[in-house]
Chain A
Amino acid sequence: MLEVEGLTVKAGDRIILEEISLTIAPGEVHILLGPNGSGKSTLLRAIMGMGDQEIVAGKIIYNGEEITRLTVDERARLGLGIAVQHSPVLPEVRLRDLAGLLAERYGTSWRSPAQALNCEHLLDRSLNEHFSGGESKRAELLQLMIQNPRLLLVDEPESGVDLENIALVGEALNTLLKGEKIKDRAKSGLIITHTGYILNYINADRGYVLINGRLVCEGNPRDLFEVINKRGFEGCLDCATCKRI
């Protein structure tokens, strides 16, 4: 479903990501781990086509089509969707108006996911204005439920969310990723997590560790977490448990 080949990304004069390669097969969910500032969010945004960074080498292929130079909306319409770590405040846009517009665009309904995500009281408010962390995440998940992307990019779903909301967010992500049962239409995901709580709700197939803009190892996500919990991210650099990249 997604192939990232030798992706090198620059912001200004600084290289943020260097020769990143990874492949996510249909139906697979991969986890991206790494210390703050390692480039995780930049990688997700580069795949989605967001931000000011410049792709200086490599390519991004989605379902066999190179999308490296496509605009954000073109990628969204192909089936990519993103939940960013910090949603911007849009005082100009009511959640109800955006949900309605997206439902019309994608031919889906917004009422039942709004109910499931406990978002109904947010509908007539400006998007993310004075929302709590959990409310912002739920409002964003509502948009994604309507958009129904085939490849879901999620940046730290636990960030700013209390334990009660983590369950709700985790279950919603699981619903989003389950998709239809027909194998060739299965959905995939790439999720950044710091805490690993989200692994209680999602069956992740593979994990990566990104340090200083380079993928340094990959393996079973739970094994990776165990190493990181014991020895920190530095431990990934000389660990034999996982596959060094």
Chain B
Amino acid sequence: MRNLQTHLRELRERAEEALTRPAAFGPDFDPALFLKEEAGAVEAGEDLSRRMREAMLLSGFDPEERNRAGSFMQQNDDVLYEEVGRAYKGQVEIMAIEKALEKYDWLWDYWWQAVPVDADKYTAYAALYEKGGYFIRILPGAQVELPIQSCLLQSENESSQRVHNIIIAEEGSRAEIISGCTTIPQVVTGMHLGISEFFIKKGAFLSFTMIHNWAESFHVRPRSVAILEENATFINNYLLLKPVRSLQSNPRAILQGKGAKTRFNSIIYGQEDSVLDLGSVLELRAENTRGEAVSRAAADGRSRIMMRGKLVASSNTAQARLECKGILLSPNTAMAAIPELEVIGAPRADLSHEASVGPISREAVEYLMARGLTEEEAASLLIQGFMKVGITGLPEILEKAVDEMTETISLGGL
């Protein structure tokens, strides 16, 4: 970057102008409330490390690093661990983002290049109060068979994380990342702002699985954009397991190289008083690009779920489909599915969508009960299937998490 200082000053100015700009979607809150110097301490003691470990496991992070190519771990603002497995040295780089920016001048060319710094107040706060995050780079041609894992853990009450991640899959590389964001049970409230910028180079394949495991009074605003070059593939899996106060996210994939492909799978379980506004935007700009966005949401308790999805095609040979399906498990929930299709100057582009919101079929439950399954077992079987049917290529860890999650669901008042 020719003039880094000028560039950084411009970014700062744009962020400052956006400090009061609400997000396009989702409930608004003031991020400043969670920027206290002194965060609320949680009970320390011998249980803390055990609880941290349990929280990590819940978010897909294996502290033993079994069958992992490398790991990154951040607790609150502190990077605790960054390591590439011996077999993958020279194929993968994993390090704290600050360290990576010091090491590589060229990385500044990627900094805030995919996600606009002034998109809303949350990107602005993340930029102005940024602390931590990871840099993961899969080197050209590297075929990383084992997943790379990361964990962003918040263990202080009323605290916040403002992380910025950059993930680069270099030309012809292939890798899978499992990224967990989690709190320990003592943490009740807080904020997580996460910026993730993905650059999937020519012919590269990246599967990114994000598991969110928050607390019931947490506010979460992830901001992610992936840029795909020619024949690149990006699979984005998202799973929300636990109640959260508010979560709004609308990740975007920009397919700017011909033949690029993307698939977004979202499995959302809304519980208690969670307010969730989740979607994805796939922009198919080049010829022969393909996209698919599939969401499954189950609304329980008094949760409010907005399922969005938008396909934008500007190439005649682009094809994409969108599927948003939701089931209502309690009489006190609300859910909306809002699919959008947009074609810009490409009359032969092929976009389609399917959306449904409704209760679980009483007839189906009764049919299974006639085979001797209890109502809970029947509901669990149906919900488990609902959450997974149509979603392909789920990592095993997600399959297991969904199975465990649906085992505890009952039909409540329905």
Which chain A residues have a beta carbon within 8 Å of chain B's beta carbons? 48, 50-51, 71-73, 76-77, 81-82, 84, 87-88, 90-94, 97-98, 101-102, 105-106, 126, 143, 147
Q: A50-B366, A88-B361 are in contact. Are A93 and B385 (CB under 8 A)?
A: yes
Extra contacts besides A71-B375, A72-B366, A73-B378 (8): CB < 8 Å? A50-B370, A72-B369, A73-B372, A90-B368, A90-B385, A93-B385, A102-B371, A126-B385
Q: Is B363 an interface residue (CB 8 A)?
A: yes
Q: A73-B375, A98-B381 are in contact. Are A90 and B370 (CB under 8 A)?
A: no
Contact with A along B352-396 (1 / 0, CB 8 A): 000000000101101111111111001001111110010000000
A196 to B149, CA, bound (A): 64
Give A52's nearest chain B residue, CB to CB.
Answer: B362
Residues of chain B within 8 A (CB-CB) of A102 are 371-372
> When the two chains form their complex, are residues B369 and A101 in contact, meaning their CB atoms are under 8 A apart?
no
> When the two chains form their complex, are residues A73 and B367 in contact, meaning their CB atoms are under 8 A apart?
no
Give A72's nearest chain B residue, CB to CB.
Answer: B369
Q: How far is the CB of B21 from chain A (nearest CB, A)?
A: 41
Which chain B residues have a beta carbon within 8 Å of chain A's beta carbons? 361, 363-364, 366-375, 378, 381-386, 389
Q: A71-B375, A93-B381 are in contact. Are A126 and B389 (CB under 8 A)?
A: yes
Residues of chain B within 8 A (CB-CB) of A97 are 381, 385
Majority SS of interface residues in chain B?
helix
Residues of chain A within 8 A (CB-CB) of B364 are 88, 90, 92-93
A98 to B384, CA, bound (A): 12
Give B385's nearest chain A residue, CB to CB.
Answer: A92
Residues of chain A within 8 A (CB-CB) of B378 are 73
> When the two chains form their complex, are residues A82 and B386 in contact, meaning their CB atoms are under 8 A apart?
no
A77 to B364, CA, bound (A): 18
Residues of chain A within 8 A (CB-CB) of B373 are 73, 101, 105
A34 to B373, CA, bound (A): 31
Residues of chain B within 8 A (CB-CB) of A147 are 371-372
A102 to B378, CA, bound (A): 12
- A–B pairs, 6, beta carbons within 8 Å: A51-B366, A73-B369, A90-B368, A92-B364, A92-B381, A147-B371
> When the two chains form their complex, are residues A92 and B372 in contact, meaning their CB atoms are under 8 A apart?
no
Give A83's nearest chain B residue, CB to CB.
Answer: B370
> When the two chains form their complex, are residues B374 and A88 in contact, meaning their CB atoms are under 8 A apart?
no
Residues of chain B within 8 A (CB-CB) of A143 are 371
